[in-house]
Structure 1
């Protein structure tokens, strides 16, 4: 009994189950070449052969084509009938499988505020052994984001205002190849924005865990809480801090007492007012900042200064 591996493959193992006879071996690796010394009448043997495609098959003339496997059985004893003596050939349909992955990132080091443009970088890669065809990347922008532009050197991308979605199409992606798209957006609301992109292709991808990528981006806004300061040197609320003010370097701050007299003024406030020289009580602030559009915004409220905490 002879069974050689199809071209471009190797036989990793074979097993045999016999009925009515004893085999020299019931298992093996590599090509099947077994001689059975005595094969009684009515006896039978079933072989199960496992083959594996090699990594190089993607670049060979056999890539994407059916695997043809031929089994031959011969005997030194004369055969009284020719029924079933022909070589048995079975063609197995080929199913190309690939592994695509996607990664999505944004700048986490630079504080970003409302209406400030920033980029998402999406990188896709073909980790498989075959060319991926009709690759599609979909990025549905959440409601907190406004689309500005995109740029890519691979394939083409389009933005749909109707569903706030960027659809990136890549005709082919070769094994090991990567492609990048950069999407520029701006936030219209503060908070942590979750943005997810997905990738699919024509070929089957058995590893779906890396076909989705999510980026979390924090968008800052001015926050004057808490509005109580206790400048006693314990490191807690010793100065009046405005969270997010670093996003607005052009700013002015004026603080007034309850009679409307200005007791403090700063251009380019550095979160360092401690009420030095002032008595306990309630003070009122007027904070002006220039946003990325060049528009001055005004925030006002009160600050409670306590000395005995």
Structure 2
């Protein structure tokens, strides 16, 4: 607002006049305050009561107030001062508008007061005082929040949508009341409710702008649901556990019993189970079993119909393998006494200390109370032959139960022993095959014993019907047969048995030996094998068989080839019995070698012998060594002074060798041809000088009649072909100079070129 004006009015003929009192005394003369306080204000707020007072340096006889709210003038005559004060030595009197002022609309208003002085002065008997006053609209408060939440769950409240409603003004104050005795002055506070039962709270907010105006209080109701508490038990094999660590076994059904709770006004509607093995359930009380041993963390979260979620509850389940249930079945007959079932059961860790109980059911209800037992091993007397179902139930410390049922037979007391001899060849070196044909009317034969000439040779504790037994007989040579007595005793229980005896005549068999064979080489030629022998003077004959061998023992290693070859020696006696032995013959691969064809060289010349050889890990030896640079390489350099035959011996690391020969003839002179015809017919197309290449440092030069050199070669590896500078030379006579070197004299002469 601006400054205030003062207007003085005279009496009678005295003129009235007005003046601007000035802003410098505004705050002192007019002093609007919040009603009920001494807090001065510079502006008003819609609906907010204010009190107006003025300070005058005299006691007026009348005050006429007008606050601009449309209510008209209010007159006090005489007005009573509420207070007085001294300022700059002048006494001022304070007068207050009779009632609080409440503006219902935002606007610019003017306070006016006409004061009648107690006596006229030069300015007159009255003066009018006025000042402008602005009333601002109230801010608007807006609550933003999720109006449904849960106990112990933080709720975020926001006043971000609230506005000051005055240009240039901002909100600076927020007054929150969360309805549970807690407050906040933050713009966007967070608050956590704690309730046992479903409760609705009234949340209020008032916002204040920097012009001092506060909004009306706005209200929102927030519904807070109680937080459920997850609780569960587990039951398996009749055992219920409330502990946090539970032991159980694989393949055992575990019932998870929900015991969760929640306060009034809400209901648990969702169950989220995690069994720790990548499986889950949403049932209230699911049933689950584990297929693998291990430690599993089972967790439960429950949710209510108000959307509230419990804390995670986790329990540890130690799942082990099942106990191992096993027991033996005795072999008994009706005449035997107690049948003993040996308990072989262990806990999952192969120990018996973890087993807590045993229950036997012997499958004979007629025996009454004797039909069951809780002893570790089962003991029961059966009086009647037949088949029974024996059941053993075991339990371990984890409460895990395993049931095992086995079918058990009480055998008849009268077994019948019998057997058949299956052989058609009764030679002593062949197994004697006997077939068990024993039987019992009820049950099975539980054990049998074989005897030969009164000596036990075999016990079978698990005989099967028609089972065959092969017995090796003692060695018997010569030409005389032997009779053996075979006896069979069969059992259907401990004391129930029967026996039978039969005699068997056995023929002697050849007594042969076949000693080891010495390895030979592929190129050794035929070898006579005589190592097979018969030692008991039996009448008969021996023959050999196998690859590359004749019946009389002649072996051809070349035909057999390298490698291991099995040779069989068979001796057949006149009684039809035979004996067979084998030995392996090792044939080593022989090397291959070719020293090469006849070679000519000039006297004083040399040549590399073109020998070829192959084989495994071979070595070389040349004889004689005279005229060779080396005698232990495949291709030595030969420079004999006279005709020489060299022998190459090639040997493998297994000792197999081969020899080959080569003749080297030594020529004394170089004899070049006197003509050649390079016409492309493949005959004498080049000037070939026999044996010249045996002189490695030879020099050949050819000239035409004019003395021009048309060919030159060192070593003469490429013979003269009748061309010069890649052009054919004309027919005619040419001249040559051949220098063999190596101590040989130069050879000269003429050469005729014919086309």
> TM-score of the superposition, structure 1-length normalised?
0.39
* Alignment TM-score, normalising by the size of structure 2: 0.19
Q: Which has the higher contact order (CA 8 A, sep 6+)?
A: 1
